Amino acid sequence: MVGKLQQKNKLIGGSAALISALMFGISPAIAKLAYEGGSNGMTMTFTRSLMSLPFLFLIARQQKISLRLTKKDLLLVVLVSIFGSFSTTLMLYSSFSYMSVGMASVLHYFFPIFVVLVSIVIFKEKTSWWKILALVLGFAGVLTFMGGAAESNLIGLLLAVGSAITYAAMLISVERTALSKFHCVKLTFYTSLIASPVAFIVGLAGNKLNLQMTAEAWLYSFVVSLMVGVIGFTLLNYAIVKIGASSTSVISMAEPLSGVLFGFLILREKLTALNWLGCILIMAGVAIISLFSMKRKSA
């Protein structure tokens, strides 16, 4: 009975991670459409966080989720929100102004290697051969995109890779601290609540916040806030609690795949035969980690 329950939780957690990855992967193409109407990385970070708050609050009230915080929890939430959620979102969305959505999404996806390395080196976590194989396949797929990265702006490269580092730090922080006991909706609500005013203040100070956008840009911004701020982060936090940061990060390899595909379909970004091979390798890694992690929990 316990084995079946664990297997069910593993399946639900894995599904949550996959759906979250798809939301994160599709949203950049929608965000870049908003850039054509006046938005930018800072503005998108602000609107995405702000617009998601009412929905998260209503979900918390409807499910009777307590939003109370202790002083210790507040400090953790502030740190994770600023150095994790806010920093990651700002750098990733800003990179779209310098390079293609597909390329930025793939470079951002270096975050699983940081998660696994920190888990092994610092936390002495044992790593199974199939998890290593999944990472090798996934990053072999990522490397197929690196030929075009050399032609991209250096600022865009640094922003995309920087977002990978802060994202990995956020994943580990959620799993390894008291935040792992938070309800996923509660954690997502507070990260958005803190990231929104931070983006507003930093944006005004740096003259990077533009609220004079077209109606279409506001609509695209709203769609992104639902996909990422409500659905994406909520399911991501849920998956981390259910299956751990390492497994969540590897299953999230579907994120660059969907980013490349929708960049091609919506923005007409180029996709070569080598890129398609990379997509296949990434999905092979996702399949391996999902199947073997399910079998291990079942055993």
Query: What's the mean pLDDT in 26-44?
Result: 93
| pLDDT, greater one: 199 or 251 | 199
How many CB atoms are closer than 10 A to CB 27?
Answer: 30
Amino acid 184: pLDDT:
80
d(CA 220, CA 232) in angstroms, rounded, equals 16
Band of residue 224 on the pLDDT scale cut at 50, 70, 90: very high
Band of residue 7 on the pLDDT scale cut at 50, 70, 90: confident
> Which candidate, 181, 106, 176, 173, places its Cα nearest to that of 146?
106
Mean pLDDT in the chain? Answer: 84
Buried b (16+ CB within 10 A) or exposed e, 171-203: bbbbbebebeebbbbbbbbbbbbbbbebbbebb
Amino acid 115: pLDDT:
78
Amino acid 120: pLDDT:
74
Amino acid 297: pLDDT:
54
Band of residue 38 on the pLDDT scale cut at 50, 70, 90: very high
| pLDDT, greater one: 260 or 291 | 260
Query: What's the mean pLDDT in 171-177?
Result: 85
Angstrom CA distances, 207 to 43, 47, 202, stand at 10, 16, 8
d(CA 202, CA 208) in angstroms, rounded, equals 8
- List the Cα angle 25/29/34 in 5-degree steps: 135
| pLDDT, greater one: 145 or 26 | 26
Amino acid 193: pLDDT:
95
Band of residue 5 on the pLDDT scale cut at 50, 70, 90: low
Q: Where are the domains of the chain?
A: 2-298
d(CA 222, CA 245) in angstroms, rounded, equals 28
How far apart, in Å, do the first and last CA atoms of the chain sit? 12
56 and 185 Cβ atoms separated by less than 8 Å: yes
| 77-127 residue pLDDT tens | 999 999 998 999 999 999 998 888 888 888 887 777 777 777 777 877 777
Angstrom CA distances, 209 to 47, 94, 130, stand at 10, 12, 45
| 141-158 residue pLDDT tens | 877 776 666 655 778 888
> Which candidate, 219, 99, 222, places its Cα nearest to that of 163?
99
Amino acid 230: pLDDT:
84
| 67-76 residue pLDDT tens | 999 888 999 9
Amino acid 1: pLDDT:
56
Amino acid 37: pLDDT:
95
Radius of gyration from C-alpha coordinates of the chain: 18
**Tokens encoding 151:** 């032609």
